[in-house]
Amino acid sequence: MSSGPQLAPGTHTLAEILSQPKCWRECLAALEENNQLGKIQTQCVADAEWLFVGCGSSHYIALVAAASWTALTGRRAKAVPASELLLFPDLVLTGSAPYQPVLVSRSGHTSEVLQAAEYLELQRNIRTLAISCATHQPLEEICAATLYLLPADEKSTVMTRSFTSMLLGLQSLAAALAKKSAFSEALHRLPTVAQAALDSMQPCLGKFVQAHEFADYVFLAQGPYFGLASESQLKVKEMSCSYAQVFHALEFRHGPKAIVGPETLVTFLLSESAYETEREVLEEIKGLGATTLVVTNIADAAARCAADLLIELKLDVPEYARLAAYIFAGQLLGFYTGLKKGYDPDRPRNLSRAVILSNNGK
């Protein structure tokens, strides 16, 4: 019996990448309709240090969320991999201040995240908050509360729209706790303005990938953008099995720049807050012979001159409200590079949708 027409490689992944603005709109609407944010606020610990915990892409969400949290609420926040909490808990849970942990997992099945939740709830007696794109899963049974972004779930193994949607969900919670309605309104405007940016960059990146061959991929960023750069290099690794690295932009000067050459694609996520300093690094690395891809909101003449491919987002929202859109370029770069190398981004080598360990018992 026929199982239906064979889908082209990467069909689900590309559809999920391109669906992100629409998905964000649906997720933000669902948060309002169900009053999820209002209910969760009543369960959060006042004046706590927020601890964001995840694995892989979910850890990179945690990095961006922690930076956003401090910027929006003024409260201390940090992000750690679940394994770090499990193996070195006394280095993570320091001091006497209360913690408000957030466990990040698209599926709610990731073994190390489940173990971290159990450790916090059962051994440390700390109430936890989960964020997930699925219901009826083990993580919600362990945690005291769960923030759901159900429209963001995916068929693909590689996280794309779930990454950005969970990030927006956590930023929305931060804005609600901080009573920053203007920022919440900006997040609701983001899907409309980001759609134009995504539509314009897709063909540019496809043509760029077809026209170049690279041996190394490097992603550079600072501050809240570092988690986005980390996720970008992971997308290139997962979808194209290419060698990719991530560094803080200014740290790249201190040794790593030795790898630079025309066969090295160096991608800069240029911030608004530290634009001039980061652009100076871009000019320096371009002068060493790198091929450069620049993602920024608005570029000046110097950045235009130093970029082999320039992507200007032109998003009329505050800097932290536009962070999610910076991941588009890394997702599309990984996708088109994978296709060019003969891989199917829907079925990445050696990977599964969730890392479930045989001894977890879940």
Q: CB under 8 Å to 59, separation ≥6 — which residues?
A: 53, 79, 80, 81, 82, 104
Average pLDDT over every residue of 273-286: 98
- pLDDT confidence of residue 11: 94
Single residue among 185, 213, 235 that ends a domain in this structure: 185
Strand 244-248 with 216-221, pairing: parallel
Tell me what the mean pLDDT of segment 308-321 comes to: 98
Q: Which residues constitute the domain of residue 134?
A: 11-185
**Average confidence (pLDDT) over 121-136:** 96
pLDDT, averaged across the chain:
94
Q: What is the pLDDT of residue 162?
A: 97
The answer to whether residue 95 scores a pLDDT higher than 90 is no
| Residue 288 φ/ψ, nearest 5 degrees | -85, -5
Mean pLDDT throughout 199-210? 97
pLDDT at 154: 94
In terms of domains, do 162 and 222 share one?
no
pLDDT digits (tens, 9 = 90+) for 11-56: 999 999 999 999 999 999 999 988 999 999 988 887 899 999 999 9
For residues 206 and 290, state if they share a domain. Answer: yes
108: left (phi over 0), alpha (psi -120 to 50) or beta: left
2 domain-assigned: no
In a domain, 143, yes or no: yes
- pLDDT at residue 324 above 80? yes
pLDDT recorded at residue 213: 94
Question: Of 11, 64, 106, 151, which is closest to residue 325 (Cα–Cα)?
Answer: 64
Instruction: Answer whether residue 360 shows pLDDT above 90.
Output: no
Crossing angle of helices 328-340 and 181-211, rounded to 10°: 20
Does 356 score more than 90 pLDDT?
no
* Residue with tokens 């590309």, as numbered in its chain: 14
Distance CA(144)–CA(135), nearest Å, equals: 14
Query: Does the residue 6 lie in any domain?
Result: no
Least confident of 66-70, 234-238, 351-355: 351-355
Q: Is residue 155 assigned to a domain?
A: yes
Judge whether 260 lies within some domain. yes
Q: How many residues does the chain have?
A: 362
Residue 53: how many other CB atoms lie within 10 Å: 29
Q: What is the DSSP string of 90-123?
A: HHHS-SSS-EEEEEE-SSS--HHHHHHHHIIIII
Strands of the chain (E only): list them: 49-54, 77-81, 99-104, 129-132, 145-148, 216-221, 244-248, 264-269, 291-296, 309-312
Neighbouring-strand partners of residue 81: 54
Angle value at C-alpha 249, between 247 and 253, nearest 5 degrees: 90
Q: What is the pLDDT at residue 353? A: 67
Q: What pTM was computed for the model?
A: 0.95
- Average pLDDT rounded to a whole number, residues 307-334: 98
Name residues whose C-beta falls within 8 Å of residue 126's C-beta, 6 or more positions apart in sequence: 98, 99, 101, 120
Question: Average pLDDT of 210-224?
Answer: 97
pLDDT at residue 359, rounded to an integer: 65
Percent residues over pLDDT 90 in the chain: 88
Residues 159 and 37 in one domain: yes
Q: Are both 289 and 153 inside the same structural domain?
A: no
Whether 40 and 150 share a structural domain: yes
* pLDDT above 80 for 328: yes
Residue range 135-151: mean pLDDT, rounded? 96
Q: How confident is the model at residue 7 (pLDDT cuts 50, 70, 90)?
A: confident
Q: What are phi and psi of 268, to 5 degrees?
A: -105, 130
Same domain, 208 and 176: no
- CB-count exposure of residue 6 (10 Å: 0-12, 13-18, 19+): exposed
Say how far apart CA 139 and CA 362 lie, in whole Å. Answer: 10
* Count of domains for the chain: 2
Arithmetic mean of pLDDT, 81-104: 95
Examine residue 126 and state whether it is found in any structural domain, yes or no.
yes
CATH number at residue 16: 3.40.50.10490
Q: What pLDDT sits at residue 44?
A: 86
Tell me how crowded residue 351 is: count the other CB atoms within 10 A of its CB: 14
155 and 262 inside one domain? no
- Mean pLDDT confidence for 281-297: 97
Among 76-85, 266-275, 353-362, which is the least confidently predicted range?
A: 353-362
> Are 251 and 128 part of one and the same domain?
no
Same domain membership, residue 330 and residue 241:
yes
